[in-house]
Structure 1
Amino acid sequence: MSLHIIKLCVGVETVEDLEAYVAERLELARRSGQAAEQSHVTRMTPRRTAEVLDGGSLYWVIKGQVQLRQPILRLDEFVDAEGIDRCRIVLDPVFIRTRWQPRRPFQGWRYLKPEDAPPDIAAEDDWSTTMPPQLQRELADLGLL
C-alpha cells in the first residue's frame, strides 16, 4: 500500500511559479552536464521507505492549500558538507493538480495516507486555469472545492 508525503512549498505563490522554477533548474542542470532531476532535500529520511516508493507522491502545500502532487521516484540518503545526514527526495517533474485542500503550517514533512489525500483534478475538469486563485482559496476554505 502506498504512502504519500506532504510538504509546504515555501516561497512559491502559485503552481505556475513552481513549474517555472523547476523547468529553469532542470534546464540549468542540462546545460551544465548534470543529471536533469528534480529533487527536494530534507533533513529526515522517511522510515517507511518501501511504502513511499510503492506509488507515493509528494503533495505540495502552496499558500495554505494542497494544490498539486508529484510522484516520488526514489529516496537518496547522503551526508552533506557539514557532515549532516540528509535525504534527497527525487521527484518526477510532472505536476498533477489536485483539488484544493486547506492545511495549516507545519515544519518539515509529514506522511499522508491515501485516504486523506485530495483527489486529482482531471484535465478536462481543470477549472484551476480559469478561476482566480483567491476565489479558489475562498471556495476551498468553505469546503466547496
Structure 2
Amino acid sequence: MLNLIKLVVGVSSLEELAARQTLPENARTLPGHATPLPVVHTRSFPRRKDEILPGGSLYRVIGGLILCRQEILAIETSTRADGTSGTLFFLNPTLIRVQACPMRPFQGWRYLTAADSPPDLDSPDTARPSHPGTPRTDKADTLPLPLLRELALLGL
C-alpha cells in the first residue's frame, strides 16, 4: 500500500480543515455515495494509482507538521475552470489524527510509503498506558500547534 502527502495551505488547525472540506467548492458527489465527499484538487495524476487504491491515505501537513490523514476513496481526472486537466482525490470525511511529525515545505504532493507514515494516535504503536488495559490519557492533539512542532522536533 502506498500513501500520498500534501501540504494544507491557509489552514491553521484540524478543525479549520474539517470546516473547509464542507464548503461546496471542496466537495463532490462520487457515484455510490449519497452525500458529497471532500475532494482535493491537484494538477498531477499519480502514476502509481493502483498502489494507492484501495486503502491508501492522504496525509496532511499543517503548520510544518503531519497532523492527520484521510483515506483516499477514488482518484479521478477533471477539467479545471481554465480548461486544463486536473485530478481530484475523493476522501473519506473522517480526519484521523496521527503522531505529529515535522515536515519541510514542498510543492504538490509526494508518495509516502506505509513504513515512513506516522502512526495513528489511537494505534497500539503510540499508546502508552500507565496500566495494562488503561486507555491513553495524554491530550497531545489539543496542544497548540507551535508546542506540538517543538515537541516533534525534539522527538517527543
| Off by >6 Å, runs of 4+ in structure 1 | none
- CA distance 1:130–1:6, change in 2 (3 Å): closer
Corresponding residue for residue 54 of structure 1: 54
User: Structure 1 residue 138 and structure 2 residue 150: aligned?
Assistant: yes
Corresponding residue for residue 114 of structure 1: 114
Mean Cα deviation higher: 97-106 or 82-91? 82-91
- CA distance 1:82–1:140, change in 2 (3 Å): same
Structure showing the higher helix proportion among its residues: 1
Alignment of 1:30-69 (within 5 A): 36-69=36-69
Mean Cα deviation higher: 129-138 or 115-124? 129-138
Corresponding residue for residue 97 of structure 1: 97
User: Structure 1 residue 17 and structure 2 residue 16: aligned?
Assistant: yes
- CA distance 1:139–1:105, change in 2 (3 Å): same
Conserved? CA contact 1:75–1:89, under 8 Å = yes
Read off the aligned partner of 1:45 and give its amino acid letter. F
Read off the aligned partner of 2:15 and give its amino acid letter. E
Distance 1:55 1:65 in 2: 22
Offset from partner CA, 1:44-78 (integer Å, 9 cap, x none): 00011111112100000000000000000000112
Task: From the CA coordinates, give the structure whose radius of gyration is larger.
Answer: 2
Taking structure 1 as the reference length, what is the TM-score of the superposition? 0.86
Mean Cα deviation higher: 118-127 or 107-116? 118-127
State the shift of 1:22 in Å: 1.9
- CA distance 1:129–1:84, change in 2 (3 Å): same
Superposed CA RMSD in Å reads 2.3
Taking structure 2 as the reference length, what is the TM-score of the superposition? 0.80
**Percent of matched pairs sharing the same residue:** 43
SS at match of 1:75: strand
- CA distance 1:109–1:29, change in 2 (3 Å): closer
